[in-house]
Amino acid sequence: MTSPEDSPTHSKIGRRNHPSHQQGNANAPVSPIPPQPIVFLDDSSELDPFFESIRRSTLLAVDTETNGLFAYRSEVCLIQISDAETIWIIDALAFKKKNAVDALVPLFHLFESPRVTKILHGASHDIASLKADFGIVLSGIFDTQAAATFLGRVHTSLAALLLEEFGIALPKTLQKSNWARRPLHAEDLSYLANDVAYLHKLQRRLEKDLRRADLVEESSLEFARICETPPAEPAFSPDDFWKIRGVRQRLSDRQLARLRRFFLLRDSLARHWNRPPFKVLSNSLLISLAEASSLKSLRRHPLFRKPRWKKQFPRFENAFRAAAEDPPPIPPESTRNTLPERRPLPLPYHHRPFEKRKQFEKVLKNWRTAEAKRKGIATSAVLPAGVLEILLLTRPSSRRDLSRIPGFGEGRNRKYGKAILDIVARF
């Protein structure tokens, strides 16, 4: 395979004023050169050698980069893949712009195939993004962060694990870069490549530790749960302005009505400009606008001295006037007059008195904590939160009942079944 220097696409990869190359910053950290050659792909004509190589693989390291800090709706900008011999960096935006995403279908099939293990670190975001952009449902993953968490590691970032396990220092100077910007530069590619360059090595180490800790089945169940992460979509609720710190204590009813109108307007502008709402107007600015006592004082707000915002003033004026006619906003919890519909449960524990449920929860959590401490693993490795909640809402009376709980598994049944059933029997 060709390296970026020999690749026909290398001419598209320039250099920029990376911090380490700027005067007065000679000692700034730079991503180390990855141990594998890098191939940059941004055209379907370059894909055949790539597909030929990865089709032979049963273990692929995968990472994605999105532009969530710079766009209203985050999208996958780059996909990094390594087979431990070569690192490929796929410019997903280039394929989208050329209407050539279909050319990547063979790759997507491998992502969905349980035959090929995909190694990711902190896979939830990658899975949610790939589902939202391409409809891909990943299966057969190994999440190195989840594995490290189960094993009781205190620091589980990729940089921390590589430093602790192998002494590899991985600078994160470009962690918050806008990956939708082009062209990419040499420093960008080194950074991107390093996110997958050492995942095979880390996976081998963690898999060995999982076997030693007898957590292979539990971790596999956790990886399967992570694969069910829903697609990433912008989440917006008109009532989310109540989550802004201090608004209930600081603002009057009339000011809260204005804040709600300005909150809605900010989201509309963010959608139109394709910017994250917090980068359009900060929450503190929204509050200061809502505190304007009149249209005259609103017009004098420093925000509207800026030409871009001066043009938007009529929309804020309309929102201000509309808020004057609005009834006082009601916090969402005050509008909940009925309990949410409950899903039917196979067992009757949820009908027991609430006080007993609280006692059951306390005893079960204390047992889980003690068991995790005894084994030197995470509490989630003993009982994940979702499994614990089902145990609290049901009353399993046998190992067979326990085996029916999604995500519980035969391994937990063997190790903890008797202890859990003994606790249940006390209530």
pLDDT digits (tens, 9 = 90+) for 214-224: 999 999 999 99
- Which range marks the domain in which residue 367 is found? 348-425
pTM of the full structure:
0.81
Question: Whole-number mean pLDDT of the chain?
Answer: 89
Given a cut of 70, is residue 10 above it in pLDDT? Answer: no
Please choose, from the candidates 299, 279, 286, the residue with its C-alpha nearest in 3D space to the C-alpha of residue 255.
286
Same-domain check for residues 179 and 243: no
352 and 322 in a common domain: no
Q: Which residues of 79-90 are buried (b: 16+ CB within 10 A; e: fewer)?
A: bbbbbbebbbbb
Each residue of 315-329: pLDDT tens digit? Answer: 999 999 999 999 999
Say yes or no: 366 and 319 in one domain: no
Q: How confident is the model at residue 333 (pLDDT cuts 50, 70, 90)?
A: low
Q: Are residues 279 and 376 in the same domain?
A: no
| Residue finishing a domain among 307, 333, 359 | 333
Task: Classify residue 189: in a domain, yes or no.
Answer: yes
296/178 same-domain check: no
Name the band, by pLDDT with cuts 50, 70 and 90, for residue 332. confident
**Same domain as 37, residue 186:** yes
Q: Is the pLDDT score of 298 beyond 80?
A: yes
Domain membership of residue 181 (yes or no) is yes
Question: 396-415: per-residue pLDDT in tens?
Answer: 999 999 999 999 999 999 99
Residue 340 is assigned to a structural domain of this protein: no
Is 271 found in the same domain as 142? no
Q: Tell me the three state secondary structure of residue 49.
A: helix
| Whether residues 178 and 48 fall in one domain | yes
Question: Both 308 and 377 in a single domain?
Answer: no
Averaged over 381-387, what is the pLDDT? 96
Higher pLDDT, 243 or 15: 243
Q: Do 190 and 150 belong to one domain?
A: yes
Q: What is the phi-psi region of residue 169: left when phi exceeds 0, alpha when psi lies from -120 to 50, beta otherwise?
A: beta
Look at residues 333, 366, 386 and tell me which one is the last residue of a structural domain.
333
User: For the residues 352-373, what does the mean pLDDT come to?
Assistant: 87
Does 233 reside within a domain?
Answer: no
- Residue 17, judged by CB atoms within 10 A of its CB (0-12, 13-18, 19+), counts as exposed
CB atoms within 10 A of CB 44: 15
Residue identified by tokens 């950074």 is 191
**Cβ atoms within 10 Å, residue 106:** 13
User: Is the pLDDT confidence value at 8 over 60?
Assistant: no
**For residue 330, how many other CB atoms are within 10 A of its CB?**
12
Q: Are residues 242 and 389 in the same domain?
A: no
Say whether pLDDT at 346 is over 80.
no
The domain that contains 302 carries what CATH number?
A: 1.10.150
- Give yes or no: residues 302 and 364 share one domain: no
Q: What is the CATH number of the domain that holds 393?
A: 1.10.150.80
Number of domains in the chain: 3
Residue 281 lies inside a defined structural domain of this protein: yes
Assess if residue 392 is contained within a domain.
yes
Cis peptide before 34 (omega within 30 of 0): no
Q: Is residue 1 part of a domain?
A: no
Q: Considering 272, 301, 333, which residue would you say is the last residue of a domain?
A: 333
Q: Is residue 80 part of a domain?
A: yes
